């Protein structure tokens, strides 16, 4: 009961005089003692520093290489082929070191060229310029005045209210993606140089079937694109017999699903969709081989990665976003997965070409390219001439390709039936 009567509020001059007037000044001694006790307590940070740290868990050792027992069964002829290819891969790996040197040196990337060399096949790709600061970019936006000689474009990163868009970091993110797409790219002629039992048409049939599988299991588009990349990169460095091609396909989709999907299909579901041609153990064995080949680094930027960014830049010229443009560009980009010859184009080039051709298909009254698209893609219209023409041939099906999974998919109403649209002849003045 005595403790309840103790005054615990801070002692002020007004409060002290009130206590003296009421005859309760004696209780202030207790208050002062409480305050002194409180001041003698150590701060929380001091307690934490003096507490003995608990025993930490031991760090796990790095995961070692997973050996591939079944590789002993590969033909001797295939081993010789792979050895020759690995020699050429040593030349191609110079891309990574050159890109790293350019980033560390801080030089102007506009003037630097990165060479991807594979025997007699040499392709040169220009690194994109480093993104400017937000203050410099805002000065070049349409309607602003500046002394810098910069093209006028619409700022698609001005919507800072949506945290999902990562507007503050988007330019730097996509710059790093543009650098990453130059690494670990399959050489465009690996089918002729490495694979003796698999042809381009077999690859096309597999990818066409995987499009149907992705629709059956309602997988996100990124899973399909990553699946095709995993297939090409594995075939780029490993001989494979045709009897195991479908096994490679479902295994790569299994890995991609684990990476991209929230609820990935189970192994048994992939075995079932192949009419149980392969067992669960065979899929797990192939999964070990694929992951070992990739050193567990499976992600790479795909055309779909860049398409989202480029479509946002394309939609900036419209008062309202056009769903037809998005569906048509996605359709054109997905068509390239089946055609083996599009491996010679960078993913960002394919995405930019799809936006170019989609805009031309929907509207011939305006030029399909503008300063905003040129700024965010870093490609001029002339840079896309070869890829846009190749993409139009694919759209018009000039070669009479019988594979129709992608075309049937985009004839559905939910995709605005964009597969039935045909683009008019491309004019030379567009480039």
More confident residue, 18 or 311: 311
Query: Are 198 and 173 members of one domain?
Result: no
Query: Are 289 and 318 members of one domain?
Result: no
What backbone phi and psi angles, to 5 degrees, belong to 117? Answer: -110, 130
User: Looking at residue 278, what DSSP letter applies?
Assistant: S
Domain extent, residue 166, equals: 77-180
Residue 156 lies in a domain: yes
For the residues 1-24, what does the mean pLDDT come to?
A: 54
Residue 379 lies in a domain: yes
Among the candidates 294, 326, 352, a domain finishes at 294
Among the candidates 151, 180, 209, a domain finishes at 180
Query: Are 156 and 231 members of one domain?
Result: no
Residue 26 lies in a domain: no
Query: Are 340 and 422 members of one domain?
Result: yes
State the pLDDT at residue 226.
96
Query: Are 283 and 326 members of one domain?
Result: no
Q: Closest Cα partner for 116 from 366, 345, 398, 427?
A: 345
The alpha carbon dihedral of 371, 376, 380, 385 has a sign of negative
Query: Are 285 and 349 members of one domain?
Result: no
**Taking 70 as the threshold, does the pLDDT of residue 139 lie above it?**
no
The alpha carbon dihedral of 70, 74, 76, 80 has a sign of negative
Contact status, residue 139 vs residue 148, Cβ threshold 8 Å? yes
Q: Closest Cα partner for 243 from 82, 393, 111, 73?
A: 73
**Per 3-state DSSP, what percentage of the chain is helix, strand, and coil (rounded to 5)?**
60, 5, 35
Taking the C-alpha atoms of residue 392 and residue 129, their distance in angstroms, rounded to an integer, is: 29
Query: Are 420 and 335 members of one domain?
Result: yes
Q: What is the mean pLDDT of the chain?
A: 76
pLDDT band at 282 (very low <50, low <70, confident <90, very high): very high
Taking the C-alpha atoms of residue 318 and residue 314, their distance in angstroms, rounded to an integer, is: 8
CATH number of the domain within which 358 lies: 1.10.472.10
State the pLDDT at residue 186.
87
**Taking 90 as the threshold, does the pLDDT of residue 190 lie above it?**
no
Query: Are 277 and 314 members of one domain?
Result: no
Query: Are 360 and 413 members of one domain?
Result: yes
Query: Are 348 and 369 members of one domain?
Result: yes
**Taking 90 as the threshold, does the pLDDT of residue 170 lie above it?**
no
Residue 426 lies in a domain: yes
Residue 99 lies in a domain: yes
Among the candidates 247, 273, 294, a domain finishes at 294
Element (H, E) at 44: helix 44-50
Residue 45 lies in a domain: no
- Residues 310-357: tens digit of each pLDDT: 999 999 888 788 899 999 999 999 999 999 999 999 999 999 999 999
Count of the separate structural domains present in the chain: 3
Query: Are 170 and 191 members of one domain?
Result: no
pLDDT band at 154 (very low <50, low <70, confident <90, very high): confident
Lowest-pLDDT range, 91-95, 127-131, 297-301?
91-95
State the pLDDT at residue 317.
82
State the pLDDT at residue 11.
57
State the pLDDT at residue 243.
94
Residue 18 lies in a domain: no
Residue 133 lies in a domain: yes
Query: Are 195 and 94 members of one domain?
Result: no
More confident residue, 1 or 387: 387
């Amino acid at each position: 009961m005595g403790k309840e009567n103790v005054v615990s509020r801070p002692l002020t001059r007004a409060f002290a005089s009130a206590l003296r007037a009421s005859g309760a000044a004696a209780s202030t001694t207790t208050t002062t003692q409480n305050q002194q006790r409180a001041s003698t307590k150590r701060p929380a940070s001091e307690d934490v520093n003096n507490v003995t740290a608990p025993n930490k868990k031991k760090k796990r050792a790095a995961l070692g290489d997973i050996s591939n027992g079944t590789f002993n069964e590969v033909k001797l002829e295939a081993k010789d082929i792979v050895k020759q290819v690995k020699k050429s891969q040593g030349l191609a790996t110079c891309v990574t070191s050159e890109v790293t040197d350019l980033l560390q040196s801080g030089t102007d990337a506009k003037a630097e060229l990165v060479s991807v060399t594979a025997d007699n096949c040499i392709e040169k790709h220009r690194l994109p310029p480093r993104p400017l600061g937000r203050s410099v970019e805002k000065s070049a936006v349409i309607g602003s005045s500046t002394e810098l000689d910069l093209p006028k474009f619409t700022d698609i990163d001005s919507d800072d209210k949506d945290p999902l868009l990562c507007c503050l970091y988007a330019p730097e993110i996509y710059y790093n993606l543009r650098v990453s797409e130059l690494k670990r790219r399959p050489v465009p002629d690996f089918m002729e140089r490495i694979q003796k039992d698999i042809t381009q048409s077999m690859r096309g049939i597999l990818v066409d079937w995987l499009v149907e599988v992705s629709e059956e299991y309602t997988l996100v588009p990124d899973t399909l694109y990553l699946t095709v990349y995993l297939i090409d990169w594995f075939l780029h460095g490993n001989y494979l017999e045709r009897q195991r091609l479908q096994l490679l396909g479902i295994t790569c989709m299994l890995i991609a699903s684990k990476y991209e999907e929230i609820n990935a299909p189970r192994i048994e579901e992939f075995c079932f969709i192949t009419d149980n041609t392969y067992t669960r153990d065979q899929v797990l064995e192939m999964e070990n081989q694929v992951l070992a080949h990739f050193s567990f680094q499976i992600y790479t930027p795909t055309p779909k990665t860049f398409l989202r960014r480029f479509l946002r830049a394309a939609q900036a010229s419209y008062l309202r976003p056009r769903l037809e443009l998005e569906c048509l560009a996605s359709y054109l980009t997905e068509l390239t997965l089946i055609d083996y010859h599009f491996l010679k184009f960078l993913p960002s080039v394919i995405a930019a070409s799809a936006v170019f051709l989609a805009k031309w298909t929907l509207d011939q009254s305006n030029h399909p390219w503008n300063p905003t698209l040129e700024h965010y893609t870093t490609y001029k219209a002339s840079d896309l001439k070869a890829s846009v023409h190749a993409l139009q041939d694919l759209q018009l099906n000039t070669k009479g390709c019988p594979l129709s999974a992608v075309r049937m998919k985009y004839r559905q109403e939910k995709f605005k039936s964009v597969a039935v649209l045909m683009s008019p002849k491309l004019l030379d003045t567009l480039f």
